[in-house]
Structure 1
């Protein structure tokens, strides 16, 4: 579809790297003696929730890339693909935020409660923004190609705000992950799995 394909590519470019925030949870290295057992347990509760959500977000990104390259899809097909991808990304980030929130403050860490709360707030905000995009895509007029293309353009423009939110979320996770917390995360097999992922960019 010539009318929407250039906009598709712009949207895909704006969304590239959406999984980077989740990857920020993966630690690197770690000391031989390891951190406090209570902190290890905290890290495990967070890390165990990561792989499934990381996979969901990466799959959603893949759908967006595939849809962006689709020159034959109808507006209805494009709408359905984008809406589902946005919903999956929203659900993935929401689950990550819930895992960090449910884990509570990392034990024995100075300022841990605030760092944990900041991470939850930022990731929850990102989840809400993707949910909002899903609603906007769902509301697009697929009967009028011109209006549909304009609507997709507006969605792509809003991605600039999401890029900033993603950076803020990544910074909040890095802040949470400092010192002993980073060491505890590095010890977890589930976070090591994410660190070994081809798309891992943090750590």
Structure 2
């Protein structure tokens, strides 16, 4: 049953803040300073989120683990995902709207709203996993099936958050972010390439 959960997670992979690009920006010191604020914290957040997805996938593929061990691994991973996306929302909120970006304030609000909702969805997933009956194998398997179904709904939220981030990082903002070393690290990571779609 846990393999369905792993498949759902694999299809979602990692939301890499969509802060990647390849070309340089025009000379805009305010926008560059904004991009630096955001990108300085991206590698640590990305590492935490990537590790959480990896932990869930590993637990799902581990046929030797007991239900209690699976529950513990999934619970911690969902907590880490919730914390990671909440941290991303906080970073973007703190940085404010990208200077000079058309519709920047609205795009910022949308991205923060979607990341916050995604964080809450993962917190709900943790609660759902924590409530599974690990003493009854059949009930546990049934509960995991429900978690897997919920994960598909969360994937829709993840995609919505990704779309909001892409909108926030368009135009000159995307170019400014691409020049920052923190965002370059994210775009160079193996997990980044699997999540840009």
- Normalised by the shorter chain, which TM-score bucket? over 0.9
Mapped pair 1:26 → 2:56: no
Displacement of 1:131 = 0.6
CA distance in 1, matches of 2:178, 2:45: 18
Supply the distance in 2 between the matched residues of 1:17 and 1:174 (Cα, whole angstroms): 19
Deviation for aligned residue 1:19: 4.6
The answer as to 2:60 corresponding to 1:68 is yes
Deviation at 1:166, TM superposition (A): 1.1
Aligned to 1:41: 33
Give distance in 2, aligned partners of 1:183 and 1:25: 9
Aligned to 2:190: 198
| Alpha-carbon distance change, 35 to 167 in structure 1, aligned in 2, over 3 angstroms | farther
> Which whole-Å CA distance do the structure 1 matches of 2:11 and 2:92 have between them?
22
Distance across 2 between alignment mates of 1:200 and 1:139: 32
Which of 5, 10, 24 is matched with 1:11 structurally? 5
Q: Shift of residue 102 of structure 1?
A: 0.7
Tell me, in whole angstroms, the C-alpha distance in 2 between the residues paired with 1:180 and 1:198: 25
State the match for 1:128 in structure 2.
120
Farther off after superposition, 12-21 or 148-157: 12-21
1:52 matched to 2:44: yes
Question: How far off is 1:35 after superposition?
Answer: 4.1
For normalisation by structure 1, the TM-score amounts to 0.92
User: Which 5+ residue runs of structure 2 have no aligned equivalent?
Assistant: none
Match among 188, 191, 194 for residue 180 of structure 2: 188
Q: CA deviation at 1:126?
A: 0.6
Q: Tell me which residue corresponds to 1:4.
A: none
Whole-Å Cα distance in 2 between the matches of residues 67 and 35 of structure 1? 47
The answer for the alignment partner of 1:102 in structure 2 is: 94
Equivalent pairs, count: 195
Match among 79, 92, 112 for residue 71 of structure 2: 79
1:145 maps to which of 134, 137, 146: 137
